[in-house]
Amino acid sequence: MKPTRTRADWAAVTSCVLFGGSLALAIAACSGADDGESDSAYDKQSKCASAGGKCVAITPSACSKGEWGDADAYSCGGGLGVGCCFAASPPEPAPNACVAAGGECVGINPNACKDGIWGDANSYSCGGGLGVGCCLPLPEPPECDQIDTVDEGWYWPGGGSKICAASCAKAEAVCDAVGSKSEGWYSNKEGAGCAGGSLIAWDNCQ
């Protein structure tokens, strides 16, 4: 049961309405959430509520029997002084597109991704953070497989699909023409690439 509001309480709410907009949002922002629960109009549609948490006022005892959720991953709609409380450990946030693809979100500087390759910001988002990019591991080279059979040729690694038929025994794929439109994988053995040439596949390989 909520405590009865005094005239002073309602005066504070009225002041918030005059300067902040609707009554519902003003009460949420100015009520102080005396019982530890948020009156926020965003509560039912917040990331916190969607993940099974509860938006409560941030006080020492407000979440003493639970655990606070990360403010960025489990937002309560932007209300000041309000946090997301989970009865048990909060679930792990879903990985962003970069992490899901095996990359790492790092600060953008010349040495940040020297052992990898920068991923496209639209395809490998890091969640909108400024000055942050997705560093992906360098792709593995194609492999010559099915040697001495009718299916001999170049294949993407890890049991991937066939790129082309080729007489490629004892040949290896190397990344070449880096930084140009012709960057990609080439055979280190003359004539062992696709169609009897050296090119195996165009790719951003370095």
pLDDT greater than 80 at residue 49: yes
156 pLDDT band, cuts 50/70/90, is very high
Give the mean pLDDT of 157-169.
94
DSSP-assigned states of every residue in 42-106: TGGGSHHHHTT-EEEE--TTTTTTSEEPPTTTS--SS-TTEEEEESSPPPPPPP-HHHHTT-EEE
Alpha-carbon gap, residue 101 to 90, rounded angstroms: 23
pTM of the full structure: 0.48
Alpha-carbon gap, residue 206 to 97, rounded angstroms: 20
Helix (H) or strand (E) holding 122: none
The full 3-state SS of 145-200, as one line of letters, equals: ECCCCCCCEEECCCCCCEEEECCCCCCCEEEECCCCCCCEEEECCCCCCHHHCCEE
Write the pLDDT tens digit of every residue in 25-48. Answer: 333 333 333 444 444 444 456 788
Alpha-carbon gap, residue 34 to 56, rounded angstroms: 10
149 pLDDT band, cuts 50/70/90, is very high
